[in-house]
Structure 1
Amino acid sequence: MSHLLLDRRIRTDGFERLEIDVNGTKTVVYTAGSGAPLVYFHGASTFHGFEFARNWTNSFRVYLPYHPGFGESPYSKEITSTTDYINHYNNLFEMLDLSTLNLAGCSLGGRLAAEFALTHPERLSSLTLICPAGLHCREYPMTELSNIAPENIPNYLVKDLNILTPYLPSEYDEDFVSKRNWENFTLESILDGGSFESPLINSKLSTLRTRTLIVWGDNDNLIPMQQAYRWQGKITNSQLKIIKNVGHLVLDESIEARDVIRDFLKS
């Protein structure tokens, strides 16, 4: 599949669309705002867009890249692991002339952000992890996505389903299903054995020294909130904010979460 068109329901007005060739892998990046650079890594599905990021554009130059194989960035046969993603993004940041930046990521994007911080700490002014995947936690494991029927997945993402209604088709939509299938295919191709757990994070997280904010929803049905305390305990220079009455997609559900991140970065 050469190109994944933007979901019709996602607003991009006010953002500049960049198409950047990174060693043969085309990557689409949306950017807006002014100030210190803030890069956001999305999770394992892009159907709900980046509307929350508008809150940050008054304070930062916001960059919203689509991972290759997700959203508008085509699938790349050259990227077969999260390590490949990290190398890809390091090259992309070079091309964008981002010598130092603030990096945030949610879920799968949180795993990628943590792995990037562990391998390229010199590039980061700060790290924000929003209910990140990647940590082994036997007592409070991540829900196995393959066990969830597609129609029930929204219940694992948000507490208030009305948050996602504008982004979901009211009836069968072949284009929507095709995009989700391609993103699932990409996800399976980059995860070792299908596991969200990261060998790098589980072996090296305690060495992370980047100033870090961890944000979690107290009603997260996908990655239990109890994991938040494990992350905080392993990252020396970290602080934790639990957001009340929201699920896994914290930024979509909570203005408070967006403001907490903004204030952390400005501090």
Structure 2
Amino acid sequence: MSKWAYSTDGFDRIVHRIDGVETVTYAIGQGEPLVYFHGGGTFHGFEWVRPLAGEFRVFCPYHPNFGESGDAELGGMGDYVAHYEMLFPALGLDTFHLCGASMGGHMAARYAAANPLDVEKLALVSPAGLKSDRASIPDFSKVAPQDIPAMFVADPAWVAPFWPADPSPEWAALRARESAAAFASREDLSLTDRALREGLKGFDRPTLLLWGENDRIVPLGYVPEWEAVLPHAELEIIPGGSHLLLDEFPAAVEALRSFLKG
């Protein structure tokens, strides 16, 4: 029985030591390879990928300093990109579809900018990393801790098992470690904005921008910025969708599947 609310039954647990860092990847399914970069928290697991397992071999690596992967002295996104440039050959991946959500969307975009020939199709789910005059990411230091979980979802009851009101010491330690790692990975927003805009100039791989209509963490106001950076990208907005879009909304998973198979 897992100590977490999610299950990894049916997944293969793959461990590599990359530049001295133990890196854990969960993989499931058969078919075209699809890599998923999680966001700033892993408390909800990778359950959402199960419906894709009949058509894709889905690889879900834990970033260093997150989940079951080891600690690493990594700075900004460039260090994470370099880590994955070493991990993917170890996983036997040459070219693959790449999907990332939130912080993982920023990471996926930076990886794609640096390694465009690796990416068959790119899917960015409410990605962070760009500046906008229309929207901003909340300052969580100004939000009461008990109010934070509901900001990520449409239905607070959905997230309750994953983000308990009275968490275990293990859960609290996981969140503290990952929050610190997410904060440490942040670069000056002007720098990340410039890196994305310059790095993705001319990027010509098929791309999907996938967003929740009611995302309160990375709001829809960021969409025009990403459309300016990736003018040929498809845009799919999920009605009523939240920030944990793939986890909470099966329609988002179907939109991703349809894009990748199209």
Question: Do both share a fold (TM > 0.5)?
Answer: yes
| Counterpart residue number, 1:3 | none
Q: Which amino acid aligns with 1:234?
A: V
Q: Which amino acid aligns with 1:101?
A: F
What TM-score comes out, normalization by structure 1 length?
0.92
1:21, distance to aligned residue in structure 2 (A): 0.7
Is the 1:117–1:210 contact (alpha carbons within 8 Å) kept by the matching residues of 2? no
**Is 2:247 the counterpart of 1:252?**
yes
1:25, distance to aligned residue in structure 2 (A): 1.0
**Is 2:71 the counterpart of 1:75?**
yes
Aligned residues: 261
| Counterpart residue number, 2:42 | 46
CA distance in 1, matches of 2:215, 2:109: 20
1:187, distance to aligned residue in structure 2 (A): 1.6
**Is 2:60 the counterpart of 1:64?**
yes
**Is 2:28 the counterpart of 1:32?**
yes
Q: Which amino acid aligns with 1:97?
A: G
| Counterpart residue number, 1:139 | 134
| Counterpart residue number, 2:99 | 104
What fraction of aligned residue pairs are identical, expressed as a percent?
36
Is the 2:33–2:58 contact (alpha carbons within 8 Å) kept by the matching residues of 1? yes
**Is 2:220 the counterpart of 1:221?**
no
Secondary structure at the counterpart of residue 170 of structure 2: helix
Instruction: After superposition, give the CA deviation of every residue in 1:105-137 in whole Å (9 maximum; x if it has no partner).
Output: 000000000001110001000000000001110
Secondary structure at the counterpart of residue 150 of structure 2: helix
Secondary structure at the counterpart of residue 188 of structure 1: helix
The 1:47/1:125 distance shift into structure 2, 3 A limit, reads same
Q: Which amino acid aligns with 2:6?
A: I
Is the 2:131–2:190 contact (alpha carbons within 8 Å) kept by the matching residues of 1? no
1:196, distance to aligned residue in structure 2 (A): 9.8
Structure 1: runs of 5 or more not aligned = 1-5
Secondary structure at the counterpart of residue 58 of structure 2: strand
1:198, distance to aligned residue in structure 2 (A): 4.2
Q: State which drifts further: 102-111 or 196-205.
A: 196-205
What TM-score comes out, normalization by structure 2 length?
0.94
CA distance in 2, matches of 1:194, 1:188: 12
1:172, distance to aligned residue in structure 2 (A): 4.0
Is the 1:163–1:252 contact (alpha carbons within 8 Å) kept by the matching residues of 2? no
CA distance in 2, matches of 1:193, 1:264: 32
1:253, distance to aligned residue in structure 2 (A): 1.6
Secondary structure at the counterpart of residue 166 of structure 1: coil
1:251, distance to aligned residue in structure 2 (A): 0.6
CA distance in 2, matches of 1:262, 1:182: 32
Secondary structure at the counterpart of residue 44 of structure 1: coil
Q: State which drifts further: 66-75 or 222-231.
A: 222-231
The one of 5, 9, 19 equivalent to 2:15 is 19
CA distance in 2, matches of 1:190, 1:198: 14
The one of 171, 177, 183 equivalent to 2:172 is 177
| Counterpart residue number, 2:186 | 191
Q: Which amino acid aligns with 1:256?
A: A
Structure 2: runs of 5 or more not aligned = none
Is the 1:141–1:223 contact (alpha carbons within 8 Å) kept by the matching residues of 2? yes
1:237, distance to aligned residue in structure 2 (A): 2.7
Is the 2:110–2:199 contact (alpha carbons within 8 Å) kept by the matching residues of 1? no
**Is 2:148 the counterpart of 1:153?**
yes
CA distance in 2, matches of 1:224, 1:137: 10
CA distance in 1, matches of 2:188, 2:109: 20
